Amino acid sequence: MSVSLEVTKREVRPRSLRNKLRHEGKVPAVVNGYKVESTAIAVNAAELERILRENGLNTVITINLEGKKVNTLIKEYQADTFTRNLTHVEFLSVDMNEETEVEAEVSLTGEAAGVKAGGVLAQNLYAVVVSATPDKLPERVEVDITALEIGDSLTVADLPKNDDYTIVTDSEEQIVAITEPQEITEDEEAGEAAEPAVIGEEEE
C-alpha cells in the first residue's frame, strides 16, 4: 500500500529558513536514493503526521517531486524532545521491485498461561529487522503468547513465517520469557518490617 504526499523544493541556506518553515507548519526534509539525487524539500507537517499515525513508519509514501512521482520510505526522522513534533525527515527513494530492510515492531498477543499462574512476563526484544519489497513491508510482527507457561520463552525462530517478508534478525535472539515470581526472603521481610531508628531519640 502507498499514500501520496505533496512536497516542495526548498533552499538550504540560510539555516534560519528551517525555523521559518516550521513556523509555517512545514517540516524541512531531504529525499535521496534510487534514481534521485539528494534534494532538499519541505512537507506539510500535519499531513505527514496524519499519514504516519494512520499507516505507520513502514508505509510507502509517493511524493510528487517537480512533476515526477517518487516512491519513498522514511529512512530517519527527528522530533522535538518535548512536543514530539517532527523537526526533520529523510526520505529514501526505493525501487518497488527490490527488497529492502526495515525494523518492524514485535507485538505480543494474548495473555500467557504462566502469567495467569503468577509468573512474570519479561520482553527482551521489541523489534526485528525484516526484508521485503517496499509494498509488503510489515509495520509489526505479531506472536501469540497464550500457551507460554512459567519457564517458557520465545525466540525469533518462533515468530510466524510469512510469504510477504523474511525476518533477518538472528533466529536465536530471545523475544520474551515467563519467569518465576520473585520470592521475598525472611531477611527481606524482616528488613521491611523494621522501623528505622530516629537519630537523637533515647531508648526508654
* Residue 42 and residue 111 in one domain: no
For the stretch 41-97, pLDDT in tens is 999 999 999 999 999 999 999 998 888 899 999 999 998 888 888 889 999 999 999
User: What does 16-48 look like in DSSP terms, one character per residue?
Assistant: HHHHHHHHTTEEEEEEEETTEEEEEEEEEHHHH
| Tally of domains within the chain | 2
Q: Confirm whether 137 is domain-assigned.
A: yes
CATH number of the domain to which 110 belongs: 2.170.120.20
- Does residue 91 contact residue 42 with C-beta atoms inside 8 Å? no
* Residue 88 and residue 21 in one domain: yes
Q: Confirm whether 193 is domain-assigned.
A: no
Provide, rounded to the nearest whole percent, the portion of the chain with pLDDT above 70.
Answer: 87
For the stretch 152-161, pLDDT in tens is 999 999 999 9
Residue 122 grid cell = 519479561
Q: What pLDDT is attached to residue 204?
A: 44
CATH number of the domain to which 25 belongs: 2.40.240.10
Q: Which of 130, 119, 116 is nearest to 159 (CA)?
A: 130
Q: Confirm whether 65 is domain-assigned.
A: yes
Average pLDDT over residues 180-198: 60
Q: Omega into 181 within 30° of 0, i.e. cis?
A: no
Q: What pLDDT is attached to residue 187?
A: 56
Q: Name the range with the highest mean pLDDT among 1-10, 83-92, 172-181.
A: 172-181
Q: Is 64 helix (H, G, I), strand (E, B) or coil?
A: strand
Helix/strand/coil percentages in the chain, nearest 5? 20, 45, 40
Q: What pLDDT is attached to residue 21?
A: 81
Give kind and range of the element (H or E) at residue 79: strand 68-79
For residue 16, the enclosing domain spans 3-96
Residue 53 grid cell = 499515525
Q: Confirm whether 9 is domain-assigned.
A: yes
Q: Is 133 helix (H, G, I), strand (E, B) or coil?
A: coil
Higher pLDDT, residue 196 or 117: 117
For the stretch 93-128, pLDDT in tens is 999 999 999 999 999 999 999 999 999 999 999 999
- Report the sign of the C-alpha dihedral through residues 108, 110, 114, 115, in that order: positive
Average pLDDT, the chain: 88
Q: Which of 154, 162, 104 is nearest to 128 (CA)?
A: 104
For the ranges 74-83, 97-106, 137-146, 177-186, the lowest mean pLDDT is seen at 177-186
Strand segments (E) across 81-182 = 86-93, 100-109, 120-123, 127-132, 140-144, 153-155, 166-167, 174-179
